[in-house]
Amino acid sequence: MSNVTVVGAQWGDEGKGKIVDWLSNEADIVVRFQGGNNAGHTIVVKKKKIALSLIPSGIIRKDKVSIIGNGVVVNPIALLDEINKLALAGIKITRKNLKISENASIIFSFHKQIDEIREKRKGPNKIGTTGRGIGPAYEDRVGRRAVRFADLINDKILKEKIKNALDYHNILLAGLNSKLLSEKNIYDEINSYKKRILKFVDRISPILKHAKNKGKKILFEGAQGILLDVDHGTYPFVTSSNTLPSAASTGTGVPIKELGYVLGIVKAYTTRVGSGPFPTELSDLIGQRLGEIGNEFGTVTGRQRRCGWFDSIITRHSMDVAGIDGIALTKLDVLDSFKEIKICVGYKLNNKKIDYFPLSEIDQRNIKPIYETHEGWLQTTQGARTWSDLPALAIKYVRRIEELLETQVSILSTSPKREDTILVKNPFIG
């Protein structure tokens, strides 16, 4: 088994960037398969923080090919800005090491405009989107009116696609008493990036098929987390795409049986950005302390993350629907200074104990966590690179998480640095 698919097993922000960066050392190709520039990865190399939103984390390594798959909705302006920032950090981006799928859909400025208008109108019931137009762009794709990168090379087709988009969106904007879109403005936007972006556009299927035939290793990189999946997450407070490993197949064109080892990234506690249910959220000094120690601010938005204790029930829900083979446990070191550490092992709903995560929105609002309490280790785990470097109580905590999730920890991360990693089982070997 030579391929690995990486997904977040909570609400995103689990530390996928570091893990994908670490795994990409062994991969030949890294493919992003869903989401847009609403998701961010922060990786630390030589004490320098690098934030990525669209480009796969493998881009910072030499001789690796990074691919943005067809399942991603791409804002070309944001992508070019990211390329420029990486260039300033000394990372050269060329058509040789970065490729965009020709059938990936484009995010326009009007998608962002519509996103912001709709969120504002919802008031206190807002979803908590990043306002980057991800949802409206996915809606256009499903509604068969999206403009894809392949459309940019044919003016006749492009004109038809733009007219189709205008016919739909101007009706909505008129109903919202907002300024209508013009064909000229959309053409001007396209022309501002068309020449620069097209050099990265390519047919992806032959590249991945050739890699398979040559025995190359492919790393499939997901965005957000399973609990934000549009079908299996905390609906309606979810993203607009499927975040399950199966989306790596639809989002790249690779058969599902070739996705390889499924690695779920799990934070040693729980965080969430935006609105929606969060059973173990701590709105007290402990929650504040978790956020401060863990530097819990969104990579893309800078918004403060909501923090709480580890929730084994909701995480096990992710494990079950995703078919995760093993987990990478991150940010264990954030818990080093806590005298007591709690794990949610069940819920109370209508005065009854349940051991599953309900899918009903009203039930998700009303569940209360049932905790078991663990003694904190009160020693540093930061920088540990072997099990023998860890305090006994920290190991006990990790083993309890494995027991509750019924899944082995394959990788343990003890700091943002790529080298501070304990490898238990190499996912590329399976």
- The answer to whether residue 46 scores a pLDDT higher than 70 is no
pLDDT, residue 125, reads: 62
- The answer to whether residue 353 scores a pLDDT higher than 90 is yes
CA-to-CA distance for 335 and 318, rounded, in angstroms?
23
Report residue 51's pLDDT band, with 50, 70 and 90 as the boundaries. Answer: confident
- The answer to whether residue 283 scores a pLDDT higher than 70 is yes
Q: Using a cut of 0.85, tell me whether the model's pTM lies above it.
A: yes
CA-to-CA distance for 340 and 397, rounded, in angstroms?
11
Question: What mean pLDDT is reported for the chain?
Answer: 92
pLDDT in tens, 142-170: 999 999 999 999 999 999 999 999 999 99
Given the residues 21, 28, 41, 363, the one annotated as active site: 41
Percent of all residues in the chain with a pLDDT value above 70, rounded to a whole number: 94
| Residue 145 vs residues 104, 141, 148, 157, 164: alpha-carbon distances, Å | 13, 6, 9, 12, 6
Report residue 124's pLDDT band, with 50, 70 and 90 as the boundaries. Answer: low
Kindly report the CA angle at 401 between 400 and 403, in degrees rounded to 5?
Answer: 65
- The answer to whether residue 369 scores a pLDDT higher than 70 is yes
Nearest one of 290, 332, 342, 354 to 311, comparing CA atoms: 342
pLDDT in tens, 252-273: 999 999 999 999 999 999 999 8
Question: CA 102 from chain center: how many Å?
Answer: 22
Tell me the one-letter amino acid at 58: G
The number of residues making up the chain comes to: 430
pLDDT, residue 1, reads: 55
Given the residues 13, 21, 151, 333, the one annotated as active site: 13
How large is the average pLDDT for residues 41-67? 80
Burial class (CB in 10 A: 0-12, 13-18, 19+), 425: middle
Say whether 13 is catalytic. yes
How large is the average pLDDT for residues 49-64? 84
Say whether 210 is catalytic. no
- The answer to whether residue 203 scores a pLDDT higher than 90 is yes
CA-to-CA distance for 63 and 60, rounded, in angstroms?
9
